[in-house]
Amino acid sequence: MRAKKIYRKLDSVTKVCKEDKTVAGVLFDFMQNLPLPNIPVREAFYFRQLWLNTFGIHNLGTDDVRLYVYQEGQGQKSPDEVCTFLHDYIMKYVNANVKTFYLFCDGCAG
């Protein structure tokens, strides 16, 4: 029931974002981590590999998607990274006329 309530809210916000330019909303989350290099041999999988983190932000009004990709040596998956990515996105891609801003996520670390 909780999931249905969230999806209903997400649908209503999406409709409002597409109609009213003073309302904006984004859906964000970390995506699946990818090992680098991608080695199909199972024995090699258990040796130390470099992981590639992907953070995605989906604009509900425009259906625009922005991905922030970095390897584990450059950062972690912590609230600091989440706030940095959201701040960068808001400064670059959200219209200055927006009065109401909705944020949706599904268990994101930040």
Which pLDDT tens digit goes with each residue over 89-102? 999 999 999 999 99
Can you give the residue range of the structural domain that contains 95?
2-105
Q: Give the pTM.
A: 0.82
User: Which tens digits make up the pLDDT trace of 14-44?
Assistant: 999 999 999 999 999 988 877 776 666 666 5
Query: Is there a domain that residue 26 lies in?
Result: yes
Long-range pairs for 82-91: beta carbons < 8 A, 24 or more residues apart: 82/28, 82/55, 82/108, 82/109, 82/110, 83/110, 85/28, 85/55, 85/57, 86/26, 86/28, 86/57, 86/110, 89/26, 89/57
Query: Is there a domain that residue 83 lies in?
Result: yes
Query: Is there a domain that residue 110 lies in?
Result: no
* Structural domains in the chain (count): 1
Query: Is there a domain that residue 60 lies in?
Result: yes
